[in-house]
Structure 1
Amino acid sequence: MRRILQVAAVTGLLGLALGVPADADSRSRDISRDTLAADDGWAAADGGTTGGAAADDAHVFTVTSRAELVRALDGGSATPKIIKVAGTIDANTDDDGRHLDCDDYATGGYTLKKYLTAYDPRTWGSARPSGAQEEARQASAAAQASRVEFLVGPNTTIVGLGSGAVLKGASLQVKNADNVIVRNLDLRDAYDCFPLWQPNTGGLGDWKTSYDTLWLNGATHVWVDHITASDQDHPDAKEPTYFARNYLRHDGLLDITGGSDLVTVSWSRFADHDKAMLIGNSDSATGDRGKLRVTLHHNEFESVVQRAPRVRFGQVHVYNNRYVVPEDSEYRYSLGVSTESGIHAENNAFTAPGHVEVADLVKSWNGTALHQTGTLFNGFPVDLLAIHNAYNSGSERDLTADVGWTPSLHGKIDSARRADHDVERGAGAGRIP
């Protein structure tokens, strides 16, 4: 059934790969029953991805509030469903639609001032936080999680209507679910009110946050298309420093973990964020072997500090993406090559200021291989692999070009120069042609 729906939708999807901004007529087109094209990345494998295209009329919802979104999701049920988001939905609201801020969630006597006093490393030491203030933080965090975490079940399509569909403060979570489509949504500012202090992280300690804007965990056959994901008005770079560490409020923009598999991310924009995309969350998660097969194509990563993506175990096809590092912005790397990863990178374009060098674009941790061709850096062709091996810090091993696989599921792969142009014009929410 899924393959039949897929073939039936191919004609309507032929214009998708053009990446041209939508005009008024196409914005009014009903995209809610679109399915993934037959060759569009890993999510097209093994029967393809149709989301909620088979939903009956009783399970097609237009939602304009948090309460309506919760009812439509139906607790993550497997019933085929289409959820159309209209306007802006604020996850941080109560049942009457009143906005909630961090003070509204705080309970058990929690305050940031008391928390900082209780776990100051100069007096607390390096032990994991425990006791009254940590218990109060956990209770407060649970109160916020109950409002901002949304479980997406199998056979679901969530799609934004028009060019102004926004989910604000939400963490969409696809857990152990198959056949999901998320399209044409502006996902912004999954803001954690109650970060955890971890004294032993990274040697100096660090703040840990809880919410990915979109999290795939044990998810299969997922198509993410024409979304915009960002921290919007609350960039972590503007947060204060506590215990000599930036007080982070955001986790990933799109993390793909827990044995997720057969995922295509296309024509999306990831912006104004530190750690954008993690594929595989642990070197010890050996159950991820043979999974985490992901295609990333025609996406824009702008003002992203790192993880675009960072990969463990997975076979990841990264082609025709656009990377932009603005002047005076923090930057660490784009492609992270980690344990047993197989990144096949083709025809990607990078634009960066003078403080960023080609050798900065790739970083490896226990990785052994990276296949790359057709890369442009500030308009000039470069060999990421050769430059990484020639200029790595000595703490990183040389990488080989043999990643052990060759992509077969993909559309036309354009030159990096053409992709740079098309992605700038066509990626992100509100731009489906």
Structure 2
Amino acid sequence: MRKTIGLGIAVAVPLTLLAATQVSANADELAPGDERLARAVLGDRDGWAAHGDGTTGGSAAEADQVHVVGTWEELREAVGPRGDDTPRIIAIDGALNAHVDADGDELGCSDYQDSEFDFDAYLDTYSPENWGMEEEPSGPLEEARVRSMRNQQEQIQLHLNSNTTLIGLGDDARVLGGNILIDGADNVIVRNIGFENAHDCWPQWDPTDGSEGNWNSEFDNMSVRRAENVWIDHNEFSDKGMPDSELPEYHGREYQVHDGLLDITHGADLVTVSYNDFSEHDKTMLIGSTDSPTYDVGELRVTLHHNRWENVLQRAPRVRWGQVHVYNNHYVIPDNPEGEKQFSYSWGVGYESQLYAENNYFDIENDADVPKVVRDWRGEEMQESGSLLNGRSPHHRVSMLEEYNAVADEQLGDTVGWEPTLHDRVHPTQSVPGRVGAHAGTGNL
């Protein structure tokens, strides 16, 4: 079966996505084992989210604020009105398709399209030949595109409130096509859920983005903004169901419908991201969205540990401003065939960033990609120790920072002026692939 994601764009949609309208189970209460997991809190030394009063999510929820949901509409109802900070636990049972309305009808991109939008006319009007490359699109067609995007946003975007735990039951809880926002909400826990294929039906053509222009989309699988004390644990993030390889080109550039998998921006702070699986994606994790000294200064303290990053092409993570501790992660960087997107970088050292990388393991097929692991984005330094490369015996010790500096025109310094102290044990690097492989992702709580 094929489904249109934009006018003239056909992309295969797996049967699992279409079957997500079915409610797998309705339960009035959680089983004792699930209740225990749902009321779990972050350990008192488990990364930056343990700072201050720690992160407890909805662990204090009363019985009437414990919800088991099996559809997108049930989830929307369970989160409560925006700004309602009553402690609550929301457990997802099965797969929830965000592109299903309150009546259970599946929605496609055409259902969100504004009546005044015409894709072919958009392509023609803003083509390099007709519009040029000096300014972003404006005028009636661009306004209609934005209205179309807003229609989709109203359906697929979901705001979590403070003092919430969102948790998946078993090993098959999924959010399909949804954009989860933790925006201005504090003390939030998200665990054991697969977040798949948040996509923008109506990306914008921006001829000023780079030398050749780019298509830019709006929705992350999950966005953390203006929030504190957030724990994101044992989840899976991917474009499953709509890989970039199936997307067409317009104006000579890929029609990119995906944004980030998990972005932490706009002054978010005190976040721990642990035992997650990030796979098959381009722009994966952005920490800090601007070089301007605005809301991010003094914020963006983030811990990333025991995550698996497989065939993600860039931003794993890209950091501005923040003190970010990256330890015991496993990076799998294949040598993609010619014609497919190629690896760009893993650690983006951005403006005023203080990235501290410790005991991370890399499997890299193409030796030419090793110096690419680090990229300078107006940063000045990072600190790294304990990295290992590939599964040879003995394991090959390597400094990714030194590999970068050996070929770079401008050198990065090797000390950041702070040392992480708020963390559990940093495991020996050689144990990371096995430990992460056995415990990261859904179904491993």
Q: TM-score, normalised by structure 1?
A: 0.91
Contact 2:178 2:198 in 1 (8 A): yes
Q: What amino acid sits opposite 2:145 in the alignment? A: R
Structure 2 distance, partners of 1:382, 1:63, is 47
Pair 1:374 & 2:355 matched = no
User: Displacement, 1:352?
Assistant: 1.4
Q: What amino acid sits opposite 1:62 in the alignment? A: V
- The equivalent of 1:86 in structure 2 is 93
Contact 1:148 1:171 in 2 (8 A): yes
Q: What amino acid sits opposite 2:438 in the alignment? A: R
Q: 1:247 to 1:355 in 2, by over 3 A?
A: farther
- The equivalent of 2:284 in structure 1 is 276
- The equivalent of 2:274 in structure 1 is 266
- The equivalent of 1:423 in structure 2 is 436
**Tell me, what secondary structure is at the counterpart of 2:416?**
coil
Pair 1:412 & 2:443 matched = no
1:44 to 34, 46, 50: 50
User: Displacement, 1:26?
Assistant: 11
- The equivalent of 1:115 in structure 2 is 122
- Tell me which moved more, 74-83 or 45-54: 74-83
Q: How do 1:159-178 and structure 2 match up within 5 A?
A: 159-178=167-186
1:54 to 43, 60, 63: 60
User: Displacement, 1:29?
Assistant: 6.6
- The equivalent of 1:10 in structure 2 is none
Structure 2 distance, partners of 1:238, 1:326, is 19
Give the count of matched residue pairs: 405
**Tell me, what secondary structure is at the counterpart of 1:140?**
helix
Q: Deviations over 1:345-367 (max 9, x none)?
A: 00101111125432111001111
- The equivalent of 2:112 in structure 1 is 105
Contact 2:101 2:107 in 1 (8 A): yes
Q: 1:162 to 1:356 in 2, by over 3 A?
A: farther
Pair 1:342 & 2:350 matched = no
Structure 2 distance, partners of 1:373, 1:312, is 20
Q: What amino acid sits opposite 2:69 in the alignment? A: V
Q: Deviations over 1:181-206 (max 9, x none)?
A: 00000000001100011111112211
User: Displacement, 1:401?
Assistant: 1.6
Structure 2 distance, partners of 1:124, 1:399, is 40
Contact 1:253 1:276 in 2 (8 A): yes
User: Displacement, 1:285?
Assistant: 3.7
Structure 1 distance, partners of 2:328, 2:405, is 23
- Tell me which moved more, 336-345 or 285-294: 285-294
Q: What amino acid sits opposite 2:309 in the alignment? A: F
- Tell me which moved more, 329-338 or 26-35: 26-35
Q: Deviations over 1:59-117 (max 9, x none)?
A: 11111111111111112321111000010100011111111011111122323222111
2:399 to 367, 374, 383: 383
Q: What amino acid sits opposite 2:136 in the alignment? A: R
Q: How do 1:54-73 and structure 2 match up within 5 A?
A: 54-73=60-79
Pair 1:353 & 2:341 matched = no
- The equivalent of 2:148 in structure 1 is 140
* Structure 1 runs not aligned, ≥5 long: 1-24
- Tell me which moved more, 60-69 or 355-364: 355-364
Q: Deviations over 1:310-339 (max 9, x none)?
A: 000000000000000123262000000011
Q: What amino acid sits opposite 1:56 in the alignment? A: E
- The equivalent of 1:231 in structure 2 is 239
Contact 1:108 1:139 in 2 (8 A): no
Contact 1:166 1:187 in 2 (8 A): yes
Q: Deviations over 1:352-410 (max 9, x none)?
A: 11254321110011111111011011141101222211111x2xx31112111100011
- Tell me which moved more, 77-86 or 232-241: 232-241
1:247 to 241, 255, 258: 255
Structure 1 distance, partners of 2:32, 2:39, is 14
Q: What amino acid sits opposite 1:167 in the alignment? A: V
Structure 2 distance, partners of 1:336, 1:80, is 36
| More contact order relative to length (CA 8 Å, sep ≥ 6) | 1
Q: Give identity over the alignment, percent.
A: 43
- The equivalent of 1:399 in structure 2 is 412
**Tell me, what secondary structure is at the counterpart of 1:128?**
coil
> Considering only aligned residues, what root-mean-square deviation do their CA atoms show, in Å?
1.5
- The equivalent of 1:33 in structure 2 is 39
User: Displacement, 1:136?
Assistant: 1.7
